[in-house]
Chain A
Amino acid sequence: MTLVRAVIVAWLAALIALTPGASRAEGVELAQLSTQRGEDGLELSFNTRFELSRAAEDALNKGVPLYFVAEFAVLRSRWYWRDARIARGERTWRLEWKPLWRQYRVSTGGLEQSFATLDEALSVLRGQSAWRIAEPKDIEDSGNYYLEFSYRLDVSQLPRPMQIGLQAGFALSVEQKRGFNADFSLKP
């Protein structure tokens, strides 16, 4: 009996240890994150607040493109097995300085936009509204759903030697895990 109890305790401890933290942030503040269930599925809106560090801005001005990635995953809790993933997706913004035109260029999914100033360019990739993240059929059955969301500056897409000698200031990320209400709005 003692052995069985010990095993159960160990399993629970492992489960708790493996459960990702509800929210983690480094240099980025998630100002707003909301979902809305519409006619054609679930839509996500988010907005972040962050400033590029001197090092990152320097790299950008020297022609290094920066990648910002927003990732989400909708999961349904299952007590008897690993949680089922209903939907997942990511969106990548590429921010680049074109010295010849003196323009900041933001490209995402084939769409390119040029901006004269960095703030304008950053305002585009700081947030996203009405991002459809799930089909209506995916979220029909009533279950215990939750959302995993992260937004970060993707360091792994920097040139490799830069990754090795990476200075501080490139660490920009935020992660959140929120449960859904019955009407698929996010719980606070």
Chain B
Amino acid sequence: MTRTARWGWVITLVTLTGVAGVLAFLLSVGTTSERGFFERHYHWLFWVNVAVAAVLTLVILVAAVRLVLRVRRGRFGSRLLLKLAGIFALVGVVPGLMIYAVSYQFVNRSIETWFDVKLASALEAGLNLGRGTLDAMVADLGNRTRDAAEQFADAGAPQLLALERLRDKLGVRTVALVGGNGQILLESGGDTSQLTPDRPSRTLLDKARGSVVTQLEGLEDEAQALQGGARIRALALLPNTELRLGLGERYLMVVQRVPAAILGNALAVQAANSEYQQRALERVGLRRMYLGTLTLVLILAVFAALLLAVTLGNQLARPLLMLADGVRQVAQGDLSVRPVLASRDELGGLTRSFADMTGQLADAREQVQRSVAELESARTHLQTILDNLTAGVLVFDAAGALETVNPGATRILRLPLSAYVGRPLTEVPGLAEFAAALDARFEQHLGPDPAERDMDRELWQESFELQLDPQQEPLSLLVRGAPLPQRARLVVFDDISEVVSAQRSAAWSEVARRLAHEIKNPLTPIQLSAERLQHKLEAKLEGTDQAMLVRSVATIVNQVQAMKQLVNEFRDYARLPSAQLKPLDLNALIQEVLSLYAEPQENGRLVADLGPNLPCIKGDASQLRQVIHNLVQNALDAVQDRADGRVVVRSSLSLTDAGKPRAVRLHILDNGHGFAEKVLKRAFEPYVTTKSKGTGLGLAVVKKIADEHAARVSLRNLHPTVDAGSPPDDGREAAVIGAQVSLSFSNLAPAAEPGASSAKT
């Protein structure tokens, strides 16, 4: 049970108690039974009602204070509640007050009108009339009795007959002679139902001694009095004429019935008078009772009306408040599901519709968010692709300003292109020519009429040689252009310097192969011819001629031998046999090769620095032997003219982050002059050499073999202060203190292969 429901129950109970109390109170006022339950508990009921009224007052005060506090604090909806409660309270209280005012006046006036001076005096007069009539009857009977007694005395001895006559004459019920002690001497008439005639009391006899005495009797029981029980008794002393002692005093007693009609009327008047007087006395109490009840009913009714007002106001305001609250929350962006009122009226329908609307809004928003997220992820995906693209991508807008640059472009051109976004490409230093060329190509491919463009025709492809740095080789770029919608332009370019180099290499090897073939063929006949010349002519010549012949033939043979060697090298370069990859231990191979260089090792010009525990690599032992041989020889050549020349052959293992072997490295370092910049760039192309004597094929062969082994070859000059390998940061060339050639073999043989050690060559 919720708190509100509990409150509702409490209030209902209090109200019901109040209503029941008022009803009981009214019942107690209106009932006619003499001493019923409600009469006995009248006070108790009254106070219960007062207590209920007090409780209701308290409840209403608390409710009012709460409401006012809410309004003061600006709690949401309290104003509406206050207004509704006020209206309902007005509707309830005002009619109640009007009815109360009218009823108050009515009760006051009508109670007053009951009590009338004329009525009071009339009743008084009626009472007096009855009293006078009875008094007159009594007095009359007394007089007549006295007269009769005097006559009786004159007549002498009273006889029964005389009594009878007297009774007839007086027209009364009983006439009797009573003795001095009250005993009945003679009686005429009398009550037949009584055996002993009623005797006058002693006090009455005493009083009668003076004169006649009259008395009303039988009035104690009014019902009996009306049936003839009421009577007048008169007693008169008989004058004693015959002074006979012993006879004593005698009395004449006359009893007459009071007529029932007179008595009845008199009693009725008395009762009415008494009642009227009582009512007059009760007037204050009655008024107080009626008005008290009225006021109590008013208070309870007003309180009930106020409570109902608050309750109804709450009831009516709740859905509205719910809606308003919902609207406010929706406006703040909270689209969670709204509560729905269970009632089936229009307000309930309104809340349901509102909840539906909110739900639809929430759905729509969720859909929008989902599609936005999808778009975002697609965009991110595209951006990722663009960022990781090795090719450079540039997008120009309609005005020719740079719009998009990917990191590939920056890397290829080695220019901070992203700083020039929003500006034309011509502003980038060194690129003005390139930009002009691009524009020209675009203009060239642009159709005269934009409406008749053929997209395929507008795509173009061209290679550029771009000289950005005069000290460096020009960049070979393959540039593709495409128009984009809204007159934007897309340019994609690749650095094809490597490709060009490779092509050059391939061309050279072809040239070498053919040249070798063409040259080699005549060499043997030349040598043979020369040797034959010497053989035939040596004996026939003498002296200086012979010596000249021998020297010339030797020269020819030597030159032919040299030429043969040259040709063989060319052939070897062009026609290296494909590598037979087998597991092999690099250290063992190095040591084997170095054993041929015993002399430089002995005088400290050649030092081996081999890393321990190297895993086996997959390689062709004979080819690698040639590689090591070439490199060591090159290095030794480079330091030949230096007294402190020193060559280091170093092998090492590089590990991945997880600690697994990644590659085996071979470094050959020397402290010679290093490579010239120009050479460094194209060292692996044939016929590029630093040596005065050499074919220039050494490194080309190395490169070729390394390619066969999927190994990476790198050349770099060593600089003194900075770490080996890192380029000079300020652009100024630091002094070269040596050169380094590195080979990195990442094609490792399986680690635990048992044949690894046996495969040593």
Contacts and interface: CB of A to CB of B under 8 A. Distances in A.
Interface residues of A, number: 22
A159 B278 contact: yes
Interface stretch (B269-277, B407-415, B472-480, B739-747): B269-277
A59 B281 contact: yes
Given A100-B270, A160-B39, A164-B289, A62 B131 contact: no
Contacts of B288: 164-165
B281 A62 contact: yes
Contacts of A114: 219-220
A54 to B, nearest CB: 13
Interface string A95-118: 000111110010000001010000
A166 B278 contact: no
B267 A161 contact: no
Nearest to A157: B35
Given A101-B216, A114-B220, A165 B282 contact: yes
B188 to A, nearest CB: 28
B50 interface: no
B8 interface: no
A109 to B, nearest CB: 14
Interface in A57-110: 58-59, 62-64, 98-102, 105
Contacts of A161: 282, 285-286, 289
Nearest to B216: A101
A62 B267 contact: no
B499 interface: no
A162 B289 contact: no
B285 A100 contact: no
Contacts of B130: 100
B274 A159 contact: no
B282 A162 contact: yes
Interface string B282-314: 111111110010000000000000000000000
A162 B287 CA distance: 10
B127 interface: yes
B266 interface: yes
A112 B284 CA distance: 32
B350 interface: no
A114 to B, nearest CB: 7
Q: Mostly helix, strand, loop or mixed at chain B's interface? A: helix
A158 B267 CA distance: 22
B152 interface: no
A47 to B, nearest CB: 25
A163 interface: yes
B42 interface: yes
B278 A63 contact: yes
Best-buried of A98, A105, A162, A166 by chain B (most CB within 10 Å): A162
A62 B289 contact: no
A58 B278 CA distance: 10
B273 A63 contact: yes
B286 A165 contact: yes
B220 A62 contact: no
Nearest to A55: B281
A167 B216 CA distance: 36
In this complex, the member of A59, A102, A164 whose beta carbon has the largest number of chain B beta carbons within 10 angstroms is A164
A112 B282 contact: no
B280 interface: yes
B154 to A, nearest CB: 36
Interface in B669-704: none
Contacts of A58: 281
Nearest to B292: A164
Contacts of B220: 105, 112, 114
Contact of B280 (A62, A101, A167): A62
A155 to B, nearest CB: 12
B286 A99 contact: no
Q: Which of A62, A100, A114 has the most CB of B within 10 A?
A: A100
Interface in B247-273: 266-267, 269-270, 273
Contacts of A102: 131
Contacts of B280: 62
B121 to A, nearest CB: 14
Nearest to A96: B274
Contacts of B273: 63, 99
Contacts of B131: 99-100, 102
Interface in A152-188: 159-167
A111 to B, nearest CB: 10
A37 to B, nearest CB: 36
Contacts of B219: 98, 101, 114
Contacts of A59: 281
A114 B220 CA distance: 8
A145 B288 CA distance: 46
A159 B278 CA distance: 8
Given A99-B270, A101-B216, A164 B285 contact: yes
Contacts of B281: 58-59, 62, 64, 162
Contacts of B267: 100
A163 B270 contact: no
A170 to B, nearest CB: 11
Nearest to B220: A112
Nearest to B40: A156
Contact of B274 (A62, A101, A160, A164): A62
B216 A163 contact: no
A63 B277 contact: yes
Interface in B168-226: 216, 219-220
Contacts of B134: 100
Most buried by B among A58, A163, A167: A163
Most buried by A among B127, B130, B270: B270
Contacts of A159: 278, 282
Nearest to A105: B220
A139 B42 CA distance: 39
B135 to A, nearest CB: 10
A112 B269 CA distance: 22
Nearest to B128: A99
Nearest to B271: A63
Nearest to A163: B285
Contacts of A100: 127, 130-131, 134, 266-267, 269-270
Given A64-B278, A98-B219, 20 more contacts: A58-B281, A62-B278, A64-B281, A99-B127, A99-B131, A100-B131, A100-B269, A102-B131, A105-B220, A114-B220, A159-B282, A160-B39, A161-B286, A162-B281, A162-B282, A164-B288, A165-B282, A165-B286, A165-B287, A166-B285
17 contacts: A63-B275, A64-B277, A64-B281, A99-B270, A100-B127, A100-B134, A100-B269, A159-B278, A159-B282, A161-B282, A161-B289, A162-B281, A165-B282, A165-B283, A165-B285, A165-B289, A167-B284
User: Which 10 A/B pairs are nearest by Cβ-Cβ distance?
Assistant: A165-B285, A63-B274, A62-B277, A165-B284, A161-B282, A161-B285, A164-B285, A161-B286, A100-B270, A112-B220
